[in-house]
């Protein structure tokens, strides 16, 4: 069997390249062999959080895998036939549920199948989008590109125990192109959830962030909720959406500094989509039927990695151009109908 070899040390050299590669392997029905996994990290090889996404996708795609174990620096993934499925999964740690969903949603939806998944783990953890970002920002962007899912948050899960839980439903899609252009709205929504922390302290921090946004001429709609979780923690999302722009930024509450690790300036200066969202949209853009332009303030390692993987597996073409506001990432999709 011929395998498409992927260098796992390329770009950011972490879990992103694994998630993108196995997702596209299923969609294009191409067996892949990922090598040099996390070779530049202090602890190289696959970690538990990577195994979760691979093993769940293996079930959904009836895939054959070899070398998938903790510490492995290479593995092979041979996709099979995707089927409609109803699953219950438990990560058993605070491993990120949103990162697992980034793998499952595109595969199931783009291959025109259905999935009902009840999964336990971390909903709001470091180095991952929060579940609110997934629900309010990624869901909106995916919908505009034809990918539809619904998500119900049952319980929050913070580090170290996790124990969060969500119910996911993914629906068949037809990938399409969309346009992202300059943000025109000055309305923003702020959602904050906290557990086992001082209500007064959280409200004061949210008020500080709200005043900063109002100082930038934003009208802010604020929602603060106390939602019980196994561990103490707090999560915050700011987002704005209009007909041609989707911009969000999220953060967890740092209990050592007593601050939300939030970059309000990046939210304010984002042009049409935020940089993290651009990274997530590369994959469906590579399969769309027209050229898509993603305008970003910087080219992150994650974005560069996704461009590398998608072009290698799908054959899409892309280019990057400097603009007054940052960069234009131009992706010429292959039209998924051509590989069905």
Q: Which residues are catalytic?
A: 302
- The distance in angstroms from the start CA to the end CA of the chain is 20
3-state SS, residue 23 = helix
Tokens 């984002």 belong to 270
Rounded to 5 degrees, φ, ψ at 268 are -65, -40
- Closest by CA to 169, choosing from 94, 251, 114, 124, is 114
**Farthest-apart Cα atoms in the chain, separation:** 61
Torsion angle of the four alpha carbons 150, 27, 337, 307, in this order, in degrees rounded to the nearest 10: 90
Distance CA 296, CA 65 (A): 36
Q: Which residues, in sequence order, are bridge partners of residue 253? A: 260
Q: Are 164 and 131 in contact (CB under 8 A)?
A: yes
């Amino acid at each position: 069997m011929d395998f498409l070899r992927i260098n796992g040390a390329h770009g950011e050299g972490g879990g992103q390249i694994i998630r993108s590669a196995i997702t596209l392997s299923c969609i294009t029905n191409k067996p892949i062999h990922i090598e040099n996994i996390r070779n530049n990290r202090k602890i190289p090889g696959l970690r538990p959080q990577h195994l979760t996404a691979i093993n769940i996708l293996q079930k959904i795609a009836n895939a054959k895998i070899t070398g998938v174990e903790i510490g492995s620096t290479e593995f092979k993934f041979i996709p099979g036939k995707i089927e409609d499925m109803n699953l219950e999964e438990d990560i058993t740690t605070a491993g990120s549920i949103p990162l697992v969903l980034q793998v499952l949603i595109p595969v199931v939806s783009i291959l025109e199948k259905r999935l009902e998944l009840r999964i336990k783990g971390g909903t709001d953890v470091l180095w991952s989008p929060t579940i609110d970002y997934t629900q309010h920002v990624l869901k909106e962007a995916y919908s505009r590109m034809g990918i539809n899912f619904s998500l119900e948050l049952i319980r929050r899960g913070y580090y170290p125990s996790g124990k969060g839980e969500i119910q996911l439903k993914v629906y068949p899609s037809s990938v399409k192109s969309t346009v992202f252009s300059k943000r025109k709205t000055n309305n923003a929504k702020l959602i904050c959830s906290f557990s086992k922390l001082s209500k007064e302290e959280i409200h004061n921090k949210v008020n500080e962030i709200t005043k900063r946004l109002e100082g930038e001429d934003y009208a802010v709609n604020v929602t603060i909720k106390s939602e019980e979780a196994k561990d103490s923690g707090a999560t915050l999302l700011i987002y704005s959406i209009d007909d041609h722009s989707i911009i969000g930024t999220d953060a967890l509450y740092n209990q050592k500094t007593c601050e939300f690790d939030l970059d309000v300036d990046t939210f304010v200066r984002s042009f049409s989509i935020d940089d993290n969202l651009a990274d997530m949209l590369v994959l469906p853009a590579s399969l769309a039927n027209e050229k898509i332009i993603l305008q970003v303030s910087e080219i992150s390692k994650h974005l560069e990695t996704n461009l590398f993987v998608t072009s290698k597996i799908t054959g899409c073409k892309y280019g990057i151009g400097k603009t007054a506001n940052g960069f234009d990432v131009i992706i010429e999709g292959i039209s998924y109908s051509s590989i069905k």
